[in-house]
Amino acid sequence: MSQFGAQLHGKPDRAASGSGKLKNKFRDKRRSEMGGYFAEAKAGPEQQVNATRARGGNVKNVLKHAAFANVLTKQGYRKAKITRVEESRDNRNFARLGIMTKGTVISTELGKARVVNRPGQEGCINAVLIEA
């Protein structure tokens, strides 16, 4: 199903059930149930957002490169420049490559902050200040 530009997620054709018996697949996955490819949001010098088609003809903003983050401080939200990616709980190589996902610790001009949204699917980066 690569002609649709989507990725297949799910169990194999013959998955084992709880009893140990092999079960045959009831039906194939439909196009509307397909998953998308991993949209890696990287730290970069300027903001780059791509629009992709989502289910139902909706538009999803995919963040490719981010220069700024909306950081929640005690005074409220402030726009801060991202200096670098400190650590990632998803993959230790993501920090080295500069890829940001939910839970990633980034270094901003206000201090260290944790990403609280999914930037690859929302088109922006929202973070909470953890260390000033």
Residues 29 and 52 in one domain: no
Work out the percent of the chain whose per-residue pLDDT is above 90.
61
Residues 86 and 109 in one domain: yes
Per-residue pLDDT tens digits for 5-31: 566 666 666 666 677 777 777 887 787
Residues 25 and 64 in one domain: no
Residues 46 and 20 in one domain: no
Residues 70 and 127 in one domain: yes
Residues 24 and 85 in one domain: no
pTM of this prediction?
0.77
Tokens of 78: 């402030």
- Look at residue 130 and tell me whether its pLDDT is greater than 80: yes
Among residues 124, 116, 126, which one has the least CA distance to residue 60? 124
H-assigned helices in the chain: 92-97, 119-122
Section 34-50 average pLDDT: 88
Residues 70 and 122 in one domain: yes
Residues 81 and 22 in one domain: no
- The set of residues, in sequence order, having a beta carbon less than 8 Å from that of 55 and lying 6+ positions away, is 32
Q: What angle do CA 103, 98, 41 make, to 5 degrees?
A: 70
Total domains in the fold of the chain = 2
Residues 19 and 64 in one domain: no
Residues 26 and 62 in one domain: no
Q: What angle do CA 115, 117, 118 make, to 5 degrees?
A: 110
- Look at residue 105 and tell me whether its pLDDT is greater than 80: yes
Q: Which CATH number fits the domain that encloses residue 120?
A: 3.10.290.70
Residues 57 and 29 in one domain: no
Domain of residue 85: give its range: 41-131
